[in-house]
């Protein structure tokens, strides 16, 4: 064995290193935090006190009294750190600087007196049972005990008074610390102040005081970690690794040969290295997890705000659209009356102007209708009438209505009713017609040449409709956004094609209500595109119906909010 130490000595080594490592762990979480700084100072003062006790037990007898004087000074420093700690935990006091300066000045003065030979500690000597003792002077002992009690007990009183001003979670942690501090001063004071006093001269149990202070360090560490939302997983990992490394280090002291020293020394170095890597990885994992949780919470809050803004916007659109529809209808009526000569003869020039006005008015009416479609969908007020119908007939109806418009642009629409997909489909024919019409209309709008192909297929219990053109096309960045509200692709930038980005969003909602899906494909800009959808032959499943019922309930809630303003909903009820 390299060193001849007793079990109490090894216990002191373990506690001293453990306190120091724990202090550095707490400090590393937030080096600028005043709580962490004061706690680290407190824990390190305990480690210094413990190592001084160890040195006193094993140093040459002629210098043992010097170490004992240092022990009393370090004990006073521990009490002063308790006084400092209660000024920053559980909450920082406004006059902490004045308290600390005054306390530190008193500490310097008393420490100087305690270091004077024969003021508190006289000569060191060996008792008949082999233990060490010193000639303790009553005056110095009473001075030390008075100042130690003033710092420690004064800190306890301030700590107790501050509990009433804390929140419930922090108060619970503070009460644990308070109870532990009382237990420590009773037990630690008994073994390290009362028994070694001039009245008993018993130094047999001075190694037990650090055990109780170790409990205090653990308790305060846990409470600080809990209060500052540090990771308990990281803290426990740190404690386990530190304990393991210290035990490996102590084991090195029990070697008898050089070979054992090399082997156990290597094991100690390996344990320290692996422990460091483990702690770093756990801390990194915990930090990443906390960052993800923080981001998730932030996104959740942002999402709730966006949803609220979206609902507000939808309500605004609903009200504004209803208010716009009435005057637009009146304007349309008067334009028709003037065109028909109801107010006198109309010249050819006036007729042209009226036609342009009617065309612009129609665009506004269509825009308002799109707004109304969106608000009805998002408020759950869109009504669906499902019945067996022919998809061939729906597409043919749209084809006949749009064939002339396509011809005016020099485009050809290629459509032949499908025989294989001529079966009846459970659908709302008006809503499906809206989708087909919109897809063909967009193909005409965004094409300058070529053929527009309409394809109807039947596959796996579904009918599939595709509208292919040779027009503008689009890039991949547009593909995922086309069916969002108010989105207009990069492919139409710099063109004179008007649009709001609402039409195919409404189409998507109509198809989803049928239990189907929509898509958009293109090989690239200038290479044409395909817009299509598929719906089940038997109509939407129960889940989709339940979702629509939930939408309807939400829509009813919105309507109820405006029930005291019937004029805002009257135009919708007349449609």
d(CA 248, CA 345): 110
d(CA 76, CA 192): 12
Q: Which residues contact 367 (CB under 8 A, 6 or more apart)?
A: 500, 502
CA 291 and chain centroid, separation: 6
Give the pLDDT of residue 561. 45
Give the pLDDT of residue 216. 79
- Structural contact between residues 361 and 335, judged by C-beta atoms closer than 8 angstroms: yes
d(CA 166, CA 558): 42
d(CA 442, CA 435): 11
The 3-state DSSP class for residue 148 equals: helix
Give the pLDDT of residue 104. 82
Which residues sit opposite 389 in a β-bridge? 425
Q: pLDDT of the chain along its 575 residues, tens only?
A: 445 678 888 888 888 888 887 777 778 777 887 878 888 888 899 899 999 998 998 889 999 999 999 999 999 999 888 888 888 877 776 555 555 677 788 889 999 999 999 999 999 988 887 888 899 999 999 999 999 999 888 888 888 887 777 777 677 777 777 888 888 788 888 888 898 888 888 878 887 888 888 787 778 777 766 665 455 566 667 767 777 777 777 777 667 777 878 888 888 788 878 877 887 777 677 778 778 888 888 888 888 888 777 777 666 666 666 667 678 888 888 888 888 888 888 888 888 888 888 888 877 877 777 767 666 666 666 788 899 999 999 999 999 999 998 999 999 999 998 887 777 899 999 999 999 999 999 899 888 889 999 999 988 889 999 999 998 888 777 766 667 766 666 555 555 555 556 778 888 889 998 999 999 888 888 888 999 999 999 888 654 544 444 444 444 444 444 444 434 333 333 33
The 3-state DSSP class for residue 566 equals: helix
- Structural contact between residues 442 and 400, judged by C-beta atoms closer than 8 angstroms: no
* Token pair in block for residue 514: 């049928």
- Structural contact between residues 228 and 35, judged by C-beta atoms closer than 8 angstroms: yes
Return the closest-CA partner of residue 236 out of 186, 179, 282.
282
Which residues sit opposite 465 in a β-bridge? 456, 533
Q: Which residues contact 432 (CB under 8 A, 6 or more apart)?
A: 389, 391, 394, 425, 510, 514, 535
Q: What domains does the chain contain, in order, with CATH numbers?
A: 7-230 (1.20.1070.10), 387-539 (3.30.565.10)
- Structural contact between residues 470 and 521, judged by C-beta atoms closer than 8 angstroms: no
d(CA 284, CA 231): 11
d(CA 309, CA 304): 9
- Structural contact between residues 559 and 379, judged by C-beta atoms closer than 8 angstroms: yes
Give the pLDDT of residue 68. 93
Count of helices and strands (H, E) across the chain: 16, 9
What are the angstrom distances between the C-alpha of 504 and each of 459, 510, 552? 24, 10, 22
Give the pLDDT of residue 100. 67
Give the pLDDT of residue 259. 83
């Amino acid at each position: 064995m390299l060193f001849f130490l007793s079990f109490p000595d090894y216990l002191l080594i373990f506690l001293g290193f453990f306190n120091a490592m724990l202090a550095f762990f707490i400090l590393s979480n937030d080096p600028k935090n005043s709580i962490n700084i004061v706690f680290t100072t407190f824990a390190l003062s305990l480690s210094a006190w413990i190592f001084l006790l160890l040195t006193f037990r094993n140093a040459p007898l002629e210098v043992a009294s010097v170490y004992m004087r240092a022990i009393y000074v370090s004990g006073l420093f521990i009490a002063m750190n308790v006084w400092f700690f209660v000024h920053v935990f559980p909450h920082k006091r406004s006059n902490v600087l004045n308290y600390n300066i005054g306390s530190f000045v008193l500490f310097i003065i008393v420490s100087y007196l305690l270091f004077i030979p024969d003021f508190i500690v006289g000569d060191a000597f060996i008792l008949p049972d082999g233990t060490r003792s010193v000639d303790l002077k009553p005056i110095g002992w009473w001075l030390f005990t008075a100042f130690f009690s003033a710092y420690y007990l004064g800190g306890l009183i301030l700590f107790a008074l501050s509990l009433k001003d804390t929140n419930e979670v922090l108060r619970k942690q503070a009460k644990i610390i308070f109870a532990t501090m009382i237990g420590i001063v009773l037990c630690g004071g008994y073994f390290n102040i009362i028994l070694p006093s001039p009245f008993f001269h018993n130094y047999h149990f001075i190694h037990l005081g650090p055990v109780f202070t170790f409990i205090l360090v653990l308790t305060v560490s846990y409470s600080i970690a809990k209060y500052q939302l540090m990771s308990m997983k990281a803290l426990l990992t740190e404690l386990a690794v530190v304990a393991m490394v210290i035990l490996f280090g102590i084991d090195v002291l029990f070697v008898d040969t050089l070979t054992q020293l090399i082997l156990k020394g290597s094991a100690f170095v390996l344990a320290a290295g692996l422990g460091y890597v483990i702690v770093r990885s756990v801390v990194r994992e915990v930090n990443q997890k906390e960052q993800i949780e923080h981001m998730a919470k932030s996104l959740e809050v942002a999402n709730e705000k966006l949803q609220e803004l979206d609902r507000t916007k939808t309500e605004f659109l609903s009200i504004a659209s209803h208010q716009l529809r009435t005057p637009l209808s009146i304007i349309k009526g008067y334009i028709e009356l003037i065109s028909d000569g109801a107010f006198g003869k109309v010249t050819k020039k006036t007729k042209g102007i009226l036609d342009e006005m009617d065309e612009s008015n129609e665009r506004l009416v269509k825009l308002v209708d799109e707004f109304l479609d969106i608000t009805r969908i998002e408020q759950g007020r869109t009504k669906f009438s499902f019945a067996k119908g022919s998809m061939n007939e729906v597409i043919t109806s749209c084809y006949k209505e749009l064939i002339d418009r396509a011809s005016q642009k020099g485009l050809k629409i290629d459509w032949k009713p499908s025989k294989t997909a001529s079966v009846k489909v459970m659908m709302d024919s008006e809503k499906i017609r809206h989708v087909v019409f919109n897809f063909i209309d967009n193909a005409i709008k965004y094409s300058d040449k070529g053929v527009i192909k309409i394809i109807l297929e039947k596959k796996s219990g579904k009918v599939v409709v595709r509208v292919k053109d040779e027009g503008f096309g689009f890039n991949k960045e547009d593909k995922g956004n086309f069916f969002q509200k108010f989105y207009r692709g990069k492919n139409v930038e710099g063109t004179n094609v008007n649009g709001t980005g609402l039409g195919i969003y409404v189409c998507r909602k109509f198809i989803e209500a049928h239990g189907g899906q929509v898509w958009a494909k293109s090989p690239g800009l200038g290479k044409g595109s395909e817009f299509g959808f598929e719906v089940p032959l038997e109509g939407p499943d129960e889940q989709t119906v339940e979702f629509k019922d939930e939408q309807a309930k939400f829509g009813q809630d919105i309507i109820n909010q405006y029930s005291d303003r019937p004029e805002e909903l009257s135009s919708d009820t007349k449609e």
